[in-house]
Structure 1
Amino acid sequence: MLPTCFLRYSLENFIGQSENSYTGATAINLTEDPGVVSQGNNFMRKLASTAPSQPLMFQEGILDVGQEGMRHGFVQCRRDLNVSACDKCLNNLLDKYIPQFGDNRAWEFSSFSCSIWYEDVHGAFSDRNLTNETSSTGNTGETKPSLAVGTVRFKFRYTSLLLVMLLAF
């Protein structure tokens, strides 16, 4: 199970609109082999470039880095976004956080609209020493709406969430 889930509520409808006021990065505090860093970053940019045109707006892949093992990549956008908004969201995250965290062996970048994971093993974030950074660019004056729930590989509808919430109580 991957670790990120966002729950969002607003009085105005935000479905289909990209949200960049909240972004965050989590990285495993293990430096990547210098020979693998550029391969990994290029691999993730390639996944990010193909995800927006996929029917479910996600792309995953495995990069073989020889003796250093395998690297797993996963990128995903909320499915209510259009191709352009998804592409912009993914590239904004990569441009913002790759310079800071791209030399780590595993990392996760996320916003309300899209998420990106790079790991040396599946589920790397479940049991490692993590370094966190969260940033908020602040309120732009726009009120963002409704309720949206996204998890790493699954999307829930509003009614499903309510059912789950009712069963939990």
Structure 2
Amino acid sequence: MRQMCPMRTRGIIWYEQCELRYSNQSFFGTVDEVGRTFCSLEDSSVAYASATLDLMTKLVEEAPNRPLFSAAGNQSVGRTESSYGLVQCTRDLSSEDCRSCLTKGMVEASSTCRMRRGWRYLSGSCNLRYEKFAFFDASSLSIAATNSGE
């Protein structure tokens, strides 16, 4: 980040399994209102998009009620396909702020990437991700995974 953002007083970078955020002002307990949405280039069917929306909505509702502010799961679509989702908030937020951040991210990502097979919403306070493949190992998560397809 020093090379990419020299002389900046704040920054954030996301990696596959972590994020790094810094600022010259305290951001603990404050929701980062600026998010970024990334959509897959692969088109989705209406059935797949609907099933994924159901899964992600369920995860967004569950995460703020869990101790680690995160939820993960998968949804079967037809007989041969599945979608996988993970949502999480930083633990410095209140449950209500977590819910607010995830809801905002869900609205943004689901409208911007509605008919795509994969998307991510990233902010300094929360992130949401869905893919057509299992990008996380539910057994290694310290949360109970939700399998909505069974």
Whether these two folds match at TM > 0.5 is yes
Q: Which consecutive unaligned segments of at least 5 residues does structure 2 have? A: 1-14, 143-150
CA displacement 1:38-59 (0-9 Å, x = unmatched): 1211210110011001011000
Q: 1:17 aligns with which of 30, 36, 40?
A: 30
* Alignment partner of 1:100 is 2:112: yes
Tell me which residue corresponds to 2:40.
Answer: 28
Give the distance between the partners of 1:58 and 1:45, measured in 2 at CA.
13
Tell me which residue corresponds to 2:4.
Answer: none
Q: Which consecutive unaligned segments of at least 5 residues does structure 1 have? A: 125-152, 155-169
Runs of 4+ in 1 over 3 A off after TM superposition: none
Tell me which residue corresponds to 1:118.
Answer: 130
* Alignment partner of 1:7 is 2:23: no
Give the distance between the partners of 1:8 and 1:121, measured in 2 at CA.
28
TM-score, normalised to structure 1's length? 0.67
Larger RCO (CA under 8 A, 6+ residues apart) = 1
Greater helix share, structure number: 1
Quote the offset at 1:98 in angstroms: 1.0
Quote the offset at 1:5 in angstroms: 3.9
Check 1:68–1:24 CA distance in 2 against 1; reply closer, same or farther (3 A cut): farther
Q: 1:63 aligns with which of 72, 75, 86?
A: 75
Secondary structure in 2 matching 1:44? helix
Quote the offset at 1:14 in angstroms: 1.4
Tell me which residue corresponds to 1:48.
Answer: 60
Aligned pairs, how many?
Answer: 124
RMSD (Å), alpha carbons: 2.0
Query: Contact 2:84–2:135 at 8 Å: present in 1 too?
Result: no
Give the distance between the partners of 2:26 and 2:44, measured in 1 at CA.
41
Q: Which amino acid is 1:80 matched to?
A: D
Tell me which residue corresponds to 1:129.
Answer: none
Give the distance between the partners of 1:8 and 1:119, measured in 2 at CA.
25
Quote the offset at 1:17 in angstroms: 1.2
Quote the offset at 1:27 in angstroms: 1.7
